[in-house]
Structure 1
């Protein structure tokens, strides 16, 4: 159920209503990555519960991490020891993108591989900014014919006049770029441009005078091998691309692309000027007349050519600057706000009626409503004493506007199915919610352009669309990190009691392991169908009586499945339920270093529970304002104790969840 989120705030003399046009994003694509081709070699297949699948998941995680951190954007790896279960892989990112974009592109390639080539042992995914291949055959040992098994893609714009000369110019550009990439670039990468004075008419525009090109080999190819690979691709251009105004050849070891628009981010290292097309043969003249007119024509041609080149260069620069300005304006517009009058919002929500109240977040209440055009909306009405003003609200919008993931709520929509309704779902749906939430957190922690710790992950902040796809929402408390830094100490401890890790709640130690802890609590809640802080849990050795202590007691007794929701479908596979309980307990361990990363969590969800490490005792932190744990955090006094600048919260003053009875 898609919706729109509206946020309003009041000043002493002015009422301003902000519409956060928030619609649920239906597909991945935080960056403008384009899927060019994918190849599922159907020679053999594998099952989802096999060792080979686990090895592939581990392999792809390793490739993404290593390639995104590599100076050349490239990585190879091998996982597994048994001959029939080994997985070999290669990842390459385009030479002009940064590590964050590299990781995001490879994450999308991974999802396409699992979604479009499910169970296929040999898979290749080609994006415009990265490529990914894995196989059960050792293709890394010897590239062999590096240009073999390539995929061709063609532009849907056609050259209407002299298409042979157009593709010849593109091939000349590729040839020049090939020499540069093979001999002068450690990334084996080069981009450039060729301009033609007279231009080429196409089906898209009157004249195209500029052709942009790019070539790349894997950095492990020696210069002669890179040269030979790209030369083979170039030789195919007249056959494959005559008549089309652009195209690409995607190979594992080398690739090329040419277009009539600039599609790369780096500065061109090759800049060619095409010779003018040969004029028609002149009528026969006397020797003296021919010599005199020939000299004059040469001078005129040179002067006109120089002037035309200058004009084209100025046009290209102006066009590029205009396009860049438009792009930045559109990006800022994504996070922009549209003003709505308060009357419209009052009518949509029946004057913020209590029966339309969905819940209460960190900075105010959220109400459902209906706009005159039929759009369902959620209106967030900020509390006067919330502490969030216009500046903080705009910062939140700018943050969320930069996030694009299938499991994150996108600006322009929320789902009105949430809260405890997810606790009444069948097991398959619950498992998809667990898996999707894990993917969303992995994107925040490792794959997004900016590293983010959510800080308030809980059941009411995982929204569901009409297809029951989970969307992580409410980034009002999120913390951003630049570079590789993902830990800090804060004096402002905010969040929801029962979901806060003890090292954060007591000492203010903030890291990605806080979100991991919250995720573990959420997993156990989904399995049990009950909230962590329900007061009806029986615990052998923990006074707080939380779901964590209850699940740990059952685990210690060897009966963990007793924590499973009795109303759940009896067909729920015990192995999957047990795996999720095991995973949840690993995520809520007392020592942050013992908790898995979200990448580890995804690997575990694809693997067998028998390979999981044994969990240690959870941290039973702040269920009812009391920290009950074997580890000493130096806490004395009651709730609200100050320690090291970090306030130990006694009540949930920053974020409150309201649940409706089942």
Structure 2
């Protein structure tokens, strides 16, 4: 990450804690929490950050139909880096969800440094001017220059920018960034930016910006900068550059300053007071950060209970954060020396125990001492999961390493894993009583939660993460049946510009693997999406993909993927529904989920939709979905999937002979990352 990006994100996070958001929760309507409008609002706001960032800083769209339809818009100011923009939109959306609990309208500029804006409503507002309410935030320091000259230069700059932002022939359209110089008691540069939402007409944009300039003159005259923002536009000016939008603007050489001017020059370059303050502040932040880093390293070196994994030979180091380190003896005591009575699960790399540490219930994952892959999995999971925070991901509380002991401490998720409810591992229990807890509404919410969690991994987190082992046993369920993705031991971190990876060693579970990964070692976001599609089919059917299914005595047996495909092309997809659900479900909603799952498991990775689109599909009952193509799978014979009457036989040209059989065992061959 560039140093300037670090400062932007640091400033955004810091100010976000000390500044009250400029927000408005509408008073014209309300909804019942948990109803259709609430669900759609959560869906569109959860995907807004990735949509805005992917489309260059602006996105508007809607989801749902009738009274449950939600319109939403997100915008970042010109010059905001994509990662900074995404974080700002995500923060603004979360603030609205928290502070507008049941209002059908909301608007939020998340903090006064004015990076972004999020707005939603139950009525279409795209292209409409909303002049009120407006918010203003001036700097605290007063102008110490000749007010007559300053006012003239400032006014000329504002008028020139309004004309530039609303000029029909302007290529920039709807925004203007400009600078102006003045020579008073010292040479000074004024930086100003104006921006309207791109859906606004030029005439309305002119009105909005003109009013904002007037508002600033009325409220904040004589200050050294400030902001006026409303739902349709924003105006900001400072005595220092605050946006990358100024990077392409040049200024004529400054005039000679009068005698007595206080200047700070190096050669022909002039440093303004505002820029000098910014440099001093950023330097101070760096010094504080380095002091804290040195202090943390010193404390780490003094710790005797847990030590670094220097002998493991990985270039990825575990962040030494005091609050994440646990003492082995404390963990041993909390688990009653890892007693079988506290054992709640067994995974590919060790056992999981329930314990109480520091007054809270936790799950302790103790890696196997005999596992040759344990050290790599431990480091990968500890470093990765500690940086990921989302309600649909299992939270890592801490870790410990002592000699050959490697331990992770997670939040305790009481309702076991999804596969327990779907497939009833405890055969002594009554299957109907267990599967019956998963009615259709609960299953639908689980599908949406998993989708939001994977979207965060792929697009919204600080890292681009490919999970590579999405399966029912790695989805844990909270007390209210909220899904949480777990087990990141096989996950891979991509660079933000990276789209796929290759490996000669396959890791994961065959029943959930995409064909391109299982056969050729190619993995990407689309391979995770394939696994998600398999998961959706399992959630709907209550059946394992690794099982063998046959429609009738004339058909060839296949796995769940091929079984679902046959039902789809025969026009009877609802036969897939788990009988434990009963009849209490909406057939169009279930059919839509099956349709989405089949889109996710298409053989060609490019045909599979992204998670942001999947979430919109799940929340909309009106949009038309594309027809799914032949799924990728590993049946004994690909010819059985051809449906000649539908013209699908041409797809067989892409078929490949396969020699794989299905099982539920996670294979753990590793490759360098």
TM category (shorter chain) comes to 0.5 to 0.7
Structure 1 segment 107-186 matched on structure 2, within 5 A = 124-128=107-111, 129-133=115-119, 148-152=131-135, 178=158
Structure 1 segment 249-398 matched on structure 2, within 5 A = 249-256=228-235, 317-324=279-286, 326=288, 335-337=319-321, 338-371=324-357, 373-389=359-375, 393-398=378-383
Deviation at 1:376, TM superposition (A): 2.4
Q: Which residue pairs with 1:512 in the alignment?
A: 525
Deviation at 1:513, TM superposition (A): 1.8
Deviations 1:157-203 (A, max 9, x none): x97xx99999x99x979879857966899553479999xx9xxxxxx
Deviation at 1:499, TM superposition (A): 1.0
Within the alignment, does 1:560 sit opposite 2:585 as a pair? no
Q: Which residue pairs with 2:384 in the alignment?
A: 399
Residues paired across the two proteins, number: 560
Q: Distance in 1 between matches of 2:50 and 2:163?
A: 27
Deviation at 1:500, TM superposition (A): 0.8
In structure 2, do the counterparts of structure 1 residues 139 and 302 end up closer, same or farther at CA, with 3 Å as the change threshold? same
Gap regions ≥5 residues in structure 1:
1-28, 198-211, 271-297, 640-647, 656-662
Which residue of 217, 238, 244 corresponds with 2:195?
Answer: 217
Contact 1:174-1:213 at 8 Å conserved across structures: no
Deviations 1:273-319 (A, max 9, x none): xxxxxxxxxxxxxxxxxxxxxxxxx99x978999xx99998776444
Within the alignment, does 1:450 sit opposite 2:459 as a pair? no
Deviations 1:459-510 (A, max 9, x none): 2222233443322222222223224431233223211121111221111221
Q: Distance in 2 between matches of 1:102 and 1:619?
A: 36
Deviation at 1:257, TM superposition (A): 6.0
Greater relative contact order (Cα 8 A, min sep 6): structure 1 or 2? 1
Deviation at 1:350, TM superposition (A): 2.5
Deviation at 1:455, TM superposition (A): 1.1
Q: Which residue pairs with 1:188 in the alignment?
A: 176
Deviation at 1:268, TM superposition (A): 8.6
Deviation at 1:91, TM superposition (A): 4.0
Equivalent position SS for 2:580: coil
Contact 1:369-1:379 at 8 Å conserved across structures: no
Within the alignment, does 1:417 sit opposite 2:415 as a pair? yes
Deviations 1:432-452 (A, max 9, x none): 111111112222223334332
Deviation at 1:363, TM superposition (A): 3.7
In structure 2, do the counterparts of structure 1 residues 192 and 532 end up closer, same or farther at CA, with 3 Å as the change threshold? farther
Q: Distance in 2 between matches of 1:94 and 1:435?
A: 31
Q: Which residue pairs with 2:303 in the alignment?
A: none
Equivalent position SS for 1:217: strand
Equivalent position SS for 2:510: coil
In structure 2, do the counterparts of structure 1 residues 541 and 350 end up closer, same or farther at CA, with 3 Å as the change threshold? farther
Q: Which residue pairs with 1:500 in the alignment?
A: 513
Equivalent position SS for 2:523: strand
Equivalent position SS for 1:340: coil
Deviation at 1:601, TM superposition (A): 1.2
Q: Which residue pairs with 1:98 in the alignment?
A: 81
Equivalent position SS for 2:609: coil
In structure 2, do the counterparts of structure 1 residues 539 and 304 end up closer, same or farther at CA, with 3 Å as the change threshold? same
Q: Distance in 2 between matches of 1:536 and 1:355?
A: 38
Q: Which residue pairs with 2:308 in the alignment?
A: none
Q: Distance in 1 between matches of 2:610 and 2:353?
A: 35
Structure 1 segment 417-496 matched on structure 2, within 5 A = 417-419=415-417, 420-423=419-422, 424-496=437-509
Equivalent position SS for 2:617: helix
Q: Distance in 2 between matches of 1:89 and 1:191?
A: 33
Root-mean-square deviation over aligned CA pairs: 5.8
TM-score, length basis structure 1: 0.65
Equivalent position SS for 1:498: helix
Deviations 1:118-153 (A, max 9, x none): 99887644334222456798866675xx8x224326
Q: Distance in 2 between matches of 1:193 and 1:622?
A: 72
In structure 2, do the counterparts of structure 1 residues 374 and 140 end up closer, same or farther at CA, with 3 Å as the change threshold? closer
Q: Distance in 1 between matches of 2:358 and 2:121?
A: 54
In structure 2, do the counterparts of structure 1 residues 650 and 567 end up closer, same or farther at CA, with 3 Å as the change threshold? closer
Deviations 1:589-647 (A, max 9, x none): 33333332212211211122783334445433389xx99977666556667xxxxxxxx
Equivalent position SS for 1:488: strand
Deviation at 1:55, TM superposition (A): 13
Q: Distance in 1 between matches of 2:328 and 2:46?
A: 50
Q: Distance in 2 between matches of 1:55 and 1:464?
A: 23
Contact 2:566-2:641 at 8 Å conserved across structures: no
Gap regions ≥5 residues in structure 2:
1-11, 166-171, 250-257, 266-270, 297-317, 398-409, 423-436, 643-651
Within the alignment, does 1:546 sit opposite 2:559 as a pair? yes
Contact 1:218-1:254 at 8 Å conserved across structures: yes
Q: Distance in 2 between matches of 1:451 and 1:551?
A: 31
Contact 2:602-2:608 at 8 Å conserved across structures: yes
Deviation at 1:104, TM superposition (A): 4.6
Q: Which residue pairs with 2:668 in the alignment?
A: 654
Contact 2:561-2:631 at 8 Å conserved across structures: yes
Equivalent position SS for 1:611: coil
Deviations 1:349-377 (A, max 9, x none): 23223343343445433332222544423
